Structure 1
Amino acid sequence: MSKKRFDNVWDAIEDTPAQAENMKLRSALIMALKAHIARTGLSQSEAAKLLGVTQPRISDLMRGKIELFGLDTLVNMIGAAGLHVEMRISDAA
């Protein structure tokens, strides 16, 4: 049995390359939001007000429940946090 190596965990566990790319983007956005909340010292209630969501949504975010957040929602939350998203597209390796 050969062991297959992957560059990213999402490449290993998702069914298609498209699904893996979606999860990579969502993961990056969630990590950025979590880091921003921690860096600014916001409580979950304060973060919820800032980002225009409920406190339970922030709890889901902080617990890494990635399946509960779509790209649109995460991009909107990034904007509400005063952060900027940049995107780079390249050919697949």
Structure 2
Amino acid sequence: ADLPADLRLRRELIQRIASVLQARMQREELTLRQVAEMLGVSHPRIADLLAKRAERFSLDWLALLAVQLGLNVRMRVTRPYGTGGASD
């Protein structure tokens, strides 16, 4: 079954955030608690994030966290292919 578009986007974003966060934790030898404190969120939230539990996060919260981590978040809205738009 197809995933809802929102969950697909959240999964894509959480993959990138978790990757950046894990690399930073390894590079700077940070614990989950240190990362949580640095980002102003709870330790369990960081654990859920690193476990890539996208269903537990909103898209806007993930986008704000990504920006806080120095990532650029871009969103593109297009018509589905074949709907008669100018770009079809």
Consecutive unaligned residues of structure 1, counting only runs of 5 or more, are 1-11, 15-19
| Aligned match of 1:63 | 51
Q: How does 1:48-87 map to 2 (within 5 A)?
A: 48-87=36-75
The answer as to whether partners of 1:26 and 1:74 remain within 8 angstroms in 2 is yes
The answer as to whether partners of 1:52 and 1:77 remain within 8 angstroms in 2 is no
The answer as to whether partners of 2:10 and 2:54 remain within 8 angstroms in 1 is yes
Report the Cα distance in structure 1 between the residues aligned to 2:37 and 2:70, rounded to whole angstroms: 13
Identity among equivalent positions (%) equals 32
| Aligned match of 1:29 | 13
Q: 1:88 is paired with a residue of what secondary structure? A: coil
The answer as to whether partners of 2:22 and 2:50 remain within 8 angstroms in 1 is no
Deviation track 1:12-40 (CA, whole Å, cap 9, x = no partner) reads: 244xxxxx110111011100111101222
The answer as to whether partners of 1:50 and 1:80 remain within 8 angstroms in 2 is no
Runs of 4+ with >3 A deviation: none
Consecutive unaligned residues of structure 2, counting only runs of 5 or more, are 82-88
How many residue pairs end up in the alignment? 77
Structure 1 residue 43: Cα displacement: 2.9
